[in-house]
Amino acid sequence: MALLPILRYPDPRLHTRATPVQKVDDEIRRLIADMAETMYEAPGIGLAATQVNVHKRVVVIDVSEDKSALLALINPEIIARSGEQICEEGCLSVPGIYDKVTRSETVRVRALNAQGESFELDAEGLLAVCVQHELDHLDGKVFVEYLSQLKQTRIKGKLAKKSRITA
């Protein structure tokens, strides 16, 4: 396993739409393992392949307290959603920035697992938010794009200043 570099907003590669995985093989399983290691190290609760500059429809999520419930979603799609919730989100590609986003309260997702088997998952609460957030990444969208243009400009400025300080 290896730690992967995480792209930082507003890197234009974060806006690349991921392509479906054609075959779940050892390369995809290695990507999942590397993404999981990267997510846990960051630390975070979700990571999309787009965030590590791999433009395939692969996501890893673990919202458990003890990092014991790794979920890998290959070619995920939301097939049903209901309700609405507003929650504060952050993102490994937008470090140190948190803001409120409106999401569906529950979602049903269809995906492939690391063995290439199809399954469906009903998610609610934090898991539902995380699924929607990561699937947005696969479609080339970062959570800050739900915010006002003024907030987006401020965030870009804050991140640019932070990168100058650490460079």
- Does the annotation list 15 as a binding residue? no
Distance (Å, whole) CA 158 – CA 156: 6
Chain position carrying tokens 């014991």: 68
Considering 41, 65, 88, 134, which one is annotated as catalytic?
Answer: 134
Six token digits for residue 51: 């965030």
Is-catalytic flag, 88? Answer: no
- Does the annotation list 137 as a binding residue? yes
Distance (Å, whole) CA 12 – CA 142: 11
- Does the annotation list 133 as a binding residue? yes
Distance (Å, whole) CA 92 – CA 99: 13
Residues tagged in the binding site annotation for Fe cation: 91, 133, 137
Give the catalytic positions in this structure: 134
Residues tagged in the binding site annotation: 91, 133, 137
